[in-house]
Amino acid sequence: MKNKLLLLTWAALVTIVLMAALSLNRQGSNIIGKDFSDSDDMKWRLDEFYDVIGPSVLNPIDLEEAKKKITVSDREIEEHRTRYGTLADQLANIHDQYAQRIDDARAASNVLLKDTLIEERDMKLEDIRKNFEEDNHVEAKIRKEKEKVLEGYLNEIANKSYSLHVAYELKNVETGETFSYGDISKPAVYKKKFNANSDYLKASSLPGRYSDWQTPYVNYYEDAHVSDEEMTALSNPVQSFEGIVIVPKTAFEKGGAMYAQYKDFNRGKYGMYAFWTLGLLALIALFTVMKFKKEWVTEPSLVARYAYVKIDVKAMLMLLTVLMLFGFIDRYSSSVMNFFMYQSLGRWGEWVIAFFFGGMLMTALIAFQLVNSIERYKKDGALEADFKDSYMLRFVNALQEVFLKRSIGVQTFILLIGFFLAGIGFVAMFMTGMFFVMYAFCVMFLGLPALYIFMRRSAYLNRIIVATEKMAAGQLSEDIKVQGRSPLADHAKNLNNLREGVRASMTEQAKSERLKTELITNVSHDLRTPLTSIITYTDLLKDETITPEERSKYVDILDKKSQRLKTLIEDLFEVSKMASGNLELHKQRVDLMQLLQQALAEHAEEIADSGLDFRSTLPEDMLVAYVDGQRWWRVLDNLIVNAIKYALPGTRVYLTLRKVGESAEFVVKNITKYELGENVDELFERFKRADTSRHTDGSGLGLAIAQSIVDMHHGNMKIELDGDLFKVTVTVPTK
């Protein structure tokens, strides 16, 4: 817990340093040594002033003159006339709107309301008829609507109020007319002169920010649309002015028009000074009291879990965390000043949450990933092993395997491309007629033939599947029909060969029955030997004339033979369960390296007494597999005991445990005490021992039991002989 707190503290300091550095780079030149008069807010307000001073004061449009310039085109007349449909449609619509209301008024005996509604309806019907009969009628309506729009626009500009309280004195260069507002002799925080040397102030009749009239400036009435060309035609020529414009110092003083903005700017500026100082202190702390320590991010349980993550997933996680961190820093470093200027509990709450999850947590995760990746890939072969175990390599391998049968791979690729292009074409055909024609052509001459071939192949595949199901049910008399030279035809041939293999397997099953008979014979022999001894020595113990020494000797022999009989019976039951499939595995996550170490420790005394030198090679990290721990212990135990009993005294026994691909491999090598011959398969037979005299205490089932347990885990057990060199290799999947 302490390491986690230290890591988060370090991550917080790093995040603060990064934010402070980026915000200083972005905003330092606009804040350090600057006043509100130099701020972007002030510049925006001045730009707004220069934008609207022309239309509102210096060069306004004359309303009456502008009304005379309004034009109405034939297209506008026709559009206005038919906007709501044909004459019949509009008349029917108006009639329907009033019919129910008139009937309700008549039913309520409200004569006044009924007459009023009828009169109102008739007026609208008459107006619609005039729209379709007289162009002048429509033109007058459109002109009146445009006049209202223009009047609203000019009133909007004229009534525009500005909180800047700019003082100015400007003179029209051509007419000499002077315009002034406020006292320009007051002390100023902003001052600008306009003359021939420093350029004149250009005053337009239209605000610059409203020059794009694709959306009309003010659409007071839906029926009135004033275009850019019309507004330009109604405006006055641009006028030039000379003079002076100031923002008085009193605007920034308490009670002034800009005092609130001035105060907010200063609060933000000094807040940024404090934040940059905090960033500097955080940087100093990172190099002194909060130096990064590797143990903060190397907790064994987390490292072990992280080690199982594929290398390509690790790379994507790293990229994601880096992007999230720099996304947070990029966004919030540019808005830190706003948090100081416009403080609120909700804003700071949002900032704290974003700082923790987007800054601290991402920085801590990046540190964890970097350190653990560096530490892991310092080990020889780790990078290569992780790359071989990556999803990307699996995808590449799968892609290669798709083309093991080149025709199937090519057909699959073409099919996928075809579906992709078909989707694009289906959307594109709705765009233009040409696309529709092209799409129809492709469907008829490419899509339909491909669909026919695909359907034939699918039908053939279904027939093969049905035939395979019959084979699985034991019906082995009927061959699968082979059609053509496609990969499916090759598959049908292979299935026919498999059918022949199943028949051969049935022959092998008969052989297995014979082996069962031999097994019963061997079991009888091995059980009879200790049982005969037990009966014999029991009879001897009944003799009351034997000496105590003899009695003790007979009891020891009875105990030894009883244990021998017990071992035989227990092993026999276990082999029987495995053969019948009644043995149930309880798989769990097991560290094979720890299990092997425990097995060696269990037999440490026997190993010491055997005169053998056991040499073990184990992996550096945990080697985990999902196995039944108790059963897998039996495999290791049997192999170790086998080595102790049958290895040549005075020689070395080599034990190796390692990870190979996605499997764990356990190897035992030793020099045998007895000559084994060359038939390796005999060693897996039940009741088979290396010593043909059968005088050891084993059951002869050790390797058979180990083989069965390995098979149940979907592993592999292999015995190799090279003269007297005996080698057992056991592999089991780790997943």
Q: What's the CATH fold of domain 497-583?
A: Helix Hairpins (1.10.287)
- Check residue 693 and give its pLDDT: 37
- Check residue 221 and give its pLDDT: 35
Residue 28 confidence (pLDDT) above 70: yes
Token couple for 197? 């040397």
Helices (H), 444-486: 448-472
Over the stretch 136-187, which tens digit does the pLDDT of each residue have?
998 898 888 888 887 877 777 766 645 557 899 999 999 999 999 888 988 9
Token couple for 260? 């609130």
- Check residue 375 and give its pLDDT: 83
Over the stretch 32-63, which tens digit does the pLDDT of each residue have?
888 888 888 888 888 888 888 888 888 888 88
Q: Helix, strand or coil for residue 711? A: helix
Asked if 599 contacts 637 with a C-beta cutoff of 8 angstroms, the reply is: yes
Residue 13 confidence (pLDDT) above 80: yes
Write the single-letter amino acid at 131: N
Residue 680 confidence (pLDDT) above 60: no
Strand 167-172 to strand 716-722: parallel, antiparallel, or no bridges (unpaired)? Answer: unpaired
Q: Helix, strand or coil for residue 193? A: strand
Q: C-alpha dihedral over 323, 328, 330, 334, to 10 degrees?
A: 170
Displacement of CA 1 from its chain's centroid (Å)? 29
What gap in Å lies between CA 357 and CA 324, rounded to an integer?
9
What gap in Å lies between CA 410 and CA 413, rounded to an integer?
5
Residue 476 confidence (pLDDT) above 70: no
Q: Which class for 211: exposed (0-12), middle (13-18), buried (19 or more C-beta within 10 A)?
A: exposed
Which residue's structure tokens are 């003790």?
552
Domain residue limits, the chain = 2-32+259-391, 36-252, 403-472, 497-583, 584-733
- Stretch 296-312: mean pLDDT, rounded? 84
Asked if 495 contacts 467 with a C-beta cutoff of 8 angstroms, the reply is: yes
Q: Which residues pair with 590 in a beta bridge?
A: 625
**Of all residues in the chain, what percent are helix, strand and coil, respectively (each to 5)?**
65, 10, 25
**What is the model's pTM?**
0.48
What gap in Å lies between CA 623 and CA 734, rounded to an integer?
8
- Stretch 634-654: mean pLDDT, rounded? 90
CATH 3.30.565.10 given to domain 584-733:
yes
Q: C-alpha dihedral over 260, 262, 264, 266, to 10 degrees?
A: -150
Token couple for 510? 């008969």
- Check residue 319 and give its pLDDT: 92
- Check residue 285 and give its pLDDT: 93
- Check residue 210 and give its pLDDT: 41
Residue 682 confidence (pLDDT) above 60: no
